[in-house]
């Protein structure tokens, strides 16, 4: 009993000595921006690079090994009055929902997306609007994009706000645990390939059918598109970077 008391007293003394003598470990610039889990891991300054290939209408290879870039840059806090850009000055504030820029090929424009799992049915990735440069446009209602979690066979229509578009786009979950391999993303790995368990989303729009492979650690990892039954485009994840990993 006496030994335990002495050990506890020594621990307290050392703890307070260290706390009273250490310097501040960092400042506000060291605090990471919010990160949201889901079938797409959402975090600011995240970057994906895919190896892309395209085929002609007969299925002959036209191009391959082309880099296709995807990124998340800025993050916004969602409020009843609109979006508030997250900066180092307000990074400590808590928002009920975070919305992320989702941009292909550094075009300076893209979608505003979030993962919603509170007070909403179904849960999943939602599209809240679009952005171009510094300007953001919110839709009247968020659009369900990728249901997650979900079950095989679940199907839903992705309804875009463009009412002039009469061609419906349907999504369906065709698998929730399919095997998929990508070039290894781990620096210390001895294997050239990394095994992943993926959700597969089937997108049907007129005569075009696309299959999207998503993993909760990396988000989009693969894609195959068919037009009139002929494979026209593919990509596979080549590299992935997020500051919070």
76-127 pLDDT per residue, tens: 999 988 999 998 888 788 898 999 999 999 999 999 999 999 889 999 999 9
pLDDT at 32: 59
pLDDT at 189: 73
Q: What is the mean pLDDT of residues 180-196?
A: 86
pLDDT at 131: 97
Instruction: Look up the pTM and report it.
Output: 0.83
Domain housing 24: 2-241
Q: Count the domains in the chain.
A: 1
Q: What is the mean pLDDT of residues 208-228?
A: 97
What percent of the chain is helix, strand and coil (3-state, nearest 5)? 10, 55, 35
Q: How far is CA 178 from the centre of its chain?
A: 19
Q: Are the CB atoms for 143 and 88 separated by under 8 Å?
A: no
Q: What's the mean per-residue pLDDT of the chain? A: 86
CATH number for 125: 2.40.360
């Amino acid at each position: 009993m006496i030994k335990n008391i002495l050990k506890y007293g020594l621990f307290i003394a050392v703890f307070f000595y260290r706390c009273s003598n250490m310097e501040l470990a960092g400042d506000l610039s060291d605090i990471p921006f919010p990160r949201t889990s889901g079938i797409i891991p959402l975090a600011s300054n995240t970057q994906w690079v895919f190896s892309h290939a395209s085929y002609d209408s007969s299925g002959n290879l036209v191009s391959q090994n082309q880099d296709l870039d995807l990124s998340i840059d800025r993050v916004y806090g969602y409020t009843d009055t609109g979006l508030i850009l997250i900066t180092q000055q307000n990074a400590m504030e808590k928002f009920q929902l975070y919305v992320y820029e989702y941009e292909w090929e550094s075009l300076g424009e893209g979608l505003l997306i979030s993962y919603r799992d509170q007070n909403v049915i179904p849960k999943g990735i939602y599209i809240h609007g679009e952005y171009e440069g510094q300007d953001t446009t919110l839709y009247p209602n968020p659009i369900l994009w990728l249901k997650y979690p979900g079950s095989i066979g679940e199907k839903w229509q992705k309804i875009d706000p463009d009412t002039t578009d009469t061609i419906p786009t349907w999504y369906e979950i065709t698998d929730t645990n399919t095997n998929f391999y990508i070039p290894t993303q781990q620096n210390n790995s001895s294997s050239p390939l990394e095994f992943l368990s993926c959700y597969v989303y089937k997108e049907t729009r007129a005569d075009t059918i696309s299959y999207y492979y998503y993993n909760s650690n990396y988000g989009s990892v693969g894609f195959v598109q068919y037009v009139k039954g002929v494979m026209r485009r593919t990509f596979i994840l080549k590299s992935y970077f997020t500051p919070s990993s």
